[in-house]
């Protein structure tokens, strides 16, 4: 009995190496640490099996879910400037971007519909064909954009937006007449807002160009009576933006009526007017309503022509004064 109890006690001693349980191998099931994106200054992890993160990966049509996650990581890392992004045709609809500068990036065709941007820049980036419908842009700096032609801006809200040179924006929109999915009313909305943006920036010449495009859209989709009126204004003075058109109108009216007077009964002191210089002189004094009285329209046709020229002269001179003063005041 004594020996049995000694064996039992020996078997229960934990410090006995003969009965010590085997040591377990350390667990190594934790996922490997993702490698960082190889682009300089990028804090995002690379895609599985690639050297690029989702923002730098050369791929079109990136989804909203993966882009939201990427920009969330940038916010957590307090990253402001990031460059060389490939966001062609990317879905960024409804995203909130704040205090970011997307530099040297390609955002052609990117979808920013219903997005909100605050203090965002696009330095040296391309935005051709991007969608900004119903987006809110607050203090967005577009001055150093490489190109942003034919973007969709309908019902976008601009608050303190700084715009680039007109050559980088262009005077065409996807809503113009003749384009696929044309909508002149939407085009008019876009031109009106860019007119105000350039006017606020002090670039009145560019603002005037967008004003002309806005009036062109009104002329296209308005009722017949308004179309005729806008067409006449476009032809005679460029909707009040081109005084030289009014000057050319002077020459057309004066020389045109001078030619017509040659076929009518117009009397001068030396007899009926048959030479063009005398007819031109009579046309000028009639156009300006001077009426010296040395040359008189005798026939009914000549009197009718003289009356019409006088009315057109008063209208044309008044139009020129209005257009010229409008340009000079600006």
Q: Are the CB atoms for 278 and 262 separated by under 8 Å?
A: no
Is 242 a residue whose pLDDT tops 60?
Answer: yes
Give the pLDDT band of residue 272 (cuts 50, 70, 90): confident
Helix, strand or coil, per DSSP, at residue 17: helix
Residue 171 gets which letter from DSSP? S
- Tens of pLDDT, residues 14-24: 444 444 555 55
- Cβ neighbors of 104 (< 8 A, separation 6 or more) are 83, 84, 123, 124, 125
Under the banding of pLDDT at 50, 70 and 90, the label for residue 288 is very high
**Sorting pLDDT into bands at 50, 70 and 90, what band is 60?**
very high
Domain 34-170 is in which class? mainly beta
pLDDT at 12: 43
pTM: 0.77
DSSP strand pairing (266-268 vs 296-297): antiparallel
- Euclidean distance between CA atoms 158 and 39, whole angstroms: 33
Helix, strand, coil distribution of the chain in percent, nearest 5:
45, 15, 45
Least confident of 8-17, 163-172, 265-274: 8-17
In this structure, the dihedral spanned by the alpha carbons of residues 243, 325, 254 and 212, taken in order and rounded to 10 degrees, is 30
Rounded to a whole number of angstroms, the CA Rg of the chain reads: 38
User: Which among 134-148, 182-196, 284-298 has the top mean pLDDT?
Assistant: 134-148
| Structure confidence at residue 225 (pLDDT) | 85
C-beta of residue 154 within 8 angstroms of C-beta of residue 133: yes
d(CA 93, CA 165): 26
Helices (H), the chain: 2-12, 64-76, 166-169, 184-200, 204-221, 224-237, 243-261, 276-287, 300-329
What's the token pair of residue 247?
A: 């000057």
In tens, the pLDDT along 108-127 reads 999 999 999 999 999 999 99
Predicted pLDDT of residue 7: 44
Length of the chain: 330
SS3 162: strand
Instruction: Find all residues with CB under 8 Å of 92, minimum gap 6, and list them.
Output: 64, 67, 110, 111, 112, 115
| Residues 63-75: tens digit of each pLDDT | 999 999 999 999 9
Report percent pLDDT > 70 for the chain.
88
CA 103 to chain centre: 19
DSSP characters over 138-154: ES-B-TT-SB-TT-B-T
CATH number of 243-329: 1.10.287.70
b/e sequence 170-191, b meaning 16+ C-beta within 10 Å = ebebbbbeeeeeebbebbbbbb
Q: Is the pLDDT of residue 179 over 80?
A: no
Could you tell me the pLDDT band of residue 6, with boundaries at 50, 70 and 90?
very low
Q: Which residue has the higher pLDDT, 145 or 294?
A: 145
Instruction: Give the residue ranges of DSSP H helices in 44-183.
Output: 64-76, 166-169
* Lowest mean pLDDT segment, chosen from 10-14, 67-71, 132-136, 210-214: 10-14
Assess whether pLDDT exceeds 60 at residue 30.
no
Rounded to the nearest integer, the mean pLDDT of the chain is: 88
Contact predicate 151/109, CB 8 Å: no
Q: What is the mean pLDDT of residues 159-171?
A: 95
The more confident residue out of 291 and 54 is: 54
Q: Is the pLDDT of residue 13 over 70?
A: no
């Amino acid at each position: 009995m004594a020996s049995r109890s000694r064996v039992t006690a020996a078997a229960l001693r934990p410090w006995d190496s003969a009965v010590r349980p085997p040591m377990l191998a350390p667990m190594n099931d934790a996922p490997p640490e993702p490698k960082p994106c190889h682009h300089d200054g990028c804090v995002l992890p690379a895609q599985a099996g690639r050297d690029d993160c989702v923002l730098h990966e050369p791929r079109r049509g990136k989804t909203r879910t993966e882009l939201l996650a990427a920009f969330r990581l940038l916010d957590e890392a307090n990253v402001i400037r990031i460059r060389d992004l490939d966001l062609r045709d990317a879905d960024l609809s409804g995203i909130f971007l704040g205090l970011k500068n997307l530099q040297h990036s390609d955002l052609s065709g990117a979808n920013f519909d219903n997005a909100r941007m605050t203090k965002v820049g696009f330095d040296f980036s391309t935005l051709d064909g991007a969608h900004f419908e119903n987006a809110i842009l607050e203090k967005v700096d577009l001055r150093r954009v490489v190109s942003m032609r034919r973007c969709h801006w309908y019902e976008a809200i601009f608050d303190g937006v700084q715009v680039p040179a007109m050559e980088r924006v262009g005077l065409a929109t996807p809503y113009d007449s003749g384009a696929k999915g044309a909508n002149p009313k939407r085009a008019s909305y876009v031109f009106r807002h860019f007119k105000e943006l350039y006017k606020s920036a002090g670039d009145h010449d560019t603002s005037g160009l967008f004003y002309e495009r806005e009036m062109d859209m009104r002329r296209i989709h308005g009722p017949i009576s308004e179309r005729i009126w806008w067409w006449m204004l476009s032809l005679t003075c460029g909707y009040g933006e081109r005084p030289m058109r009014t000057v050319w109108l002077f020459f057309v009216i004066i020389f045109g009526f001078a030619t017509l007077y040659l076929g009518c009964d117009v009397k001068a002191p030396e007899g009926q007017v048959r030479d063009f210089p005398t007819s031109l002189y009579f046309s000028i004094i009639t156009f300006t309503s001077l009426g010296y009285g040395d040359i008189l329209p005798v026939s009914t046709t000549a009197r009718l022509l003289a009356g019409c020229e006088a009315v057109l002269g008063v209208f044309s001179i008044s139009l020129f004064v209005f257009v010229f003063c409008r340009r000079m005041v600006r």
